[in-house]
Copies of this chain bind each other. A is one copy, B any other.
Amino acid sequence: MELRQLRYFVAVAEEQHFGRAAKRLGVAQPALSRQMQRLEKELGGALLVRTPQGTRVTPAGQVLLEEARQLVSGVDAAMHRVRSATSTELGQRRSSAR
């Protein structure tokens, strides 16, 4: 399971539409379709219900949606924290802090 797949999944689940999700993500629909298939295969079950009118999440998909949102925002937060820590390091040699 990769972060890309989690980000893609959140977009599809929220848009309930592969086309709109793809546009929002800046990728083509087939890329999305393949990644969602891969994700479902790895997790061992359907996450999305595809209909000609659009797409809904399954119960398992709903579980993943909540987890994925947390993880994705957690990753973003971690990146910011590390970047802040990196910048802070620069002036730390002689000034004690900040």
Per-residue contact bits, chain A 10-44, to B (CB 8 Å; 1 contact, 0 not)? 00000000000000000000000000000000011
Per-residue contact bits, chain A 36-77, to B (CB 8 Å; 1 contact, 0 not)? 000000011111000000000011100110011011001101
Which residue of chain B is the closest to A62 with respect to CB atoms?
A: B85
Cross-chain contact of A71 among B59, B63, B71, B85 (Cβ < 8 A): B71
Contacts of A60 in B (CB 8 A): 82, 85-86, 88-89
Contacts of A89 in B (CB 8 A): 45-46, 58-60
Report whether A71 and B74 are in contact in the complex, using a CB–CB cutoff of 8 Å.
yes
**C-alpha spacing A44/B87, complex, angstroms:** 8
Further 11 A-B residue pairs, CB within 8 A, beyond A43-B86, A44-B86 = A1-B75, A43-B83, A58-B89, A60-B82, A60-B85, A60-B89, A64-B85, A67-B77, A70-B74, A71-B75, A74-B74
